[in-house]
Amino acid sequence: MFAVGHLALGYLTGKATSKLLAVDINISLLFFASIIPDIDLLVPSLHRGPTHSFVVYALLFIPFFMLFGKKTIIYFVALAQHALLEDLLITGGMAGVQLLWPLTQTWYNTPFYITGLTNLYV
């Protein structure tokens, strides 16, 4: 998926979460959280591996949860949707995602994926 798709879904999930929690958001930080997992594109052999793992996300966010409480949930949701909604459910049938790395090296995927001009991996 192109960056614009990651940014859009990150914004929508973050905005919805902020409404549920009645917390203000920092849009720049929300956009950053929604796109940062794809930093692994710089090292193609790692793509959809460690940077798409909920275990890694949880470990990285522990200090932020302790410092900022429920405000952190918004950015955690924007980050997590990248791996779960977009890479697993939308493009999952293509390669999969290591959602539980390093606990398991299993690649999770779905039997379907969306193809089209808006999908980077078509």
pLDDT at 21: 96
Say how far apart CA 77 and CA 29 lie, in whole Å.
Answer: 12
**Per-residue b or e along 14-39, where b marks 16 or more CB atoms closer than 10 Å to that residue's CB:** beebbeeeeeebeeeebbebbbbbbe
How long, in residues, is the chain? 122
Beta bridge partners of 97: 108
pLDDT score for 11: 94
Q: What is the chain's pLDDT, residue by residue, as a tens digit (122 residues)? A: 567 888 999 999 999 999 999 999 999 999 999 999 888 888 877 778 888 888 999 999 999 999 999 999 999 999 999 888 777 776 655 677 888 899 999 888 887 666 655 554 43
Total-model pTM: 0.83
Query: What distances in angstroms separate CA 79 from CA 56, 101, 111, 112, 122, one per listed residue?
Result: 11, 16, 23, 22, 23
Per-residue pLDDT at 120: 47
